[in-house]
Amino acid sequence: MGKSKLLFITHEMSPFLDLTKISEITRQLPQAMQDKGFEIRILMPRFGNINERRNRLHEVIRLSGMNIIINDNDNPLIIKVASIPAARMQVYFLDNDEYFQRKHVFADKDGKFYADNDERMIFFCKGAIETVKKLGWSPDIVHCHGWMSALVPVYLKTTYKDDPTFKHSKVIYSVYDKEFEGALNGEFAQKAIMADMNEEHTEVFKPGTNVALDLGAIKYSDGVVFGTESIDEEVLNNVKNGNKSLLEFNDTADFENYYNFYDEITNEELVHVA
């Protein structure tokens, strides 16, 4: 496959932030694919409990300085980077004082889900796409992990579908076992609308539940991965009854199944043309 470009978008990754199984996969999978010849980029939020000094994060001035608009408000985006020396991989962190500089990640000290988690998610998804554009790096595959990346597929298939950076990108979404209870802000779907989008594009996301976010991401993705053995039944049936390329859960150490899946996704158009 040569030097195919593979972008990972995730809200957690070991050793920076370990919340669920996602952090292990997003640490091991990129390295395995890099070893197989892929060019890798990884993006995640810079949550307040990620220690900058210990992890040697530093700001990338040439990428920082953008503003992400949510609900007519400009929100400054700061990009930081850290390396994993053992893996020769760089991780880009999206930072914003208002959205991410908190002691806790998704819920406060009393376990209450943050009221602005919807805006934090929108900021991260928009910011990730704009960061890659500014890098001037066109990924062949964009692999999204977890609910916080769930808007990336719809943005890439609507607002950014003709953008030179993403015009030929294939999008994969990894579904995991239920990541949060409850729902995002009731105005979430409206806030998420970007240029060249309308309410129909975000209708599937409207309930704001973990399942709704998964279903929305799946709808606009080219391929789906079951990242855990247990998957919500509604999501499972949606994928099984759809016509999306699917990689079933398979806890393999060498990630050969992912390599073959990426190959299948990137060659789908060639097959259709033939």
CA distance 231 to 270: 31
Nearest to 91 by CA among 15, 166, 152, 142: 15
Q: Give pLDDT tens digits for 192-205.
A: 999 999 999 999 99
Domain boundaries defined on the chain:
5-273
The segments of the chain whose pLDDT lies below 50 read 1, 270-274
Cβ atoms within 10 A of the Cβ of 64, count?
A: 16
CA distance 274 to 264: 15
The CATH class that applies to domain 5-273 reads alpha beta
CA distance 77 to 134: 12
Nearest to 4 by CA among 32, 34, 39: 39
Q: Give pLDDT tens digits for 16-65.
A: 999 989 999 999 999 999 999 999 999 999 998 898 888 899 999 999 88
This prediction's pTM: 0.94
Whether 137 contacts 6, CB under 8 Å = no
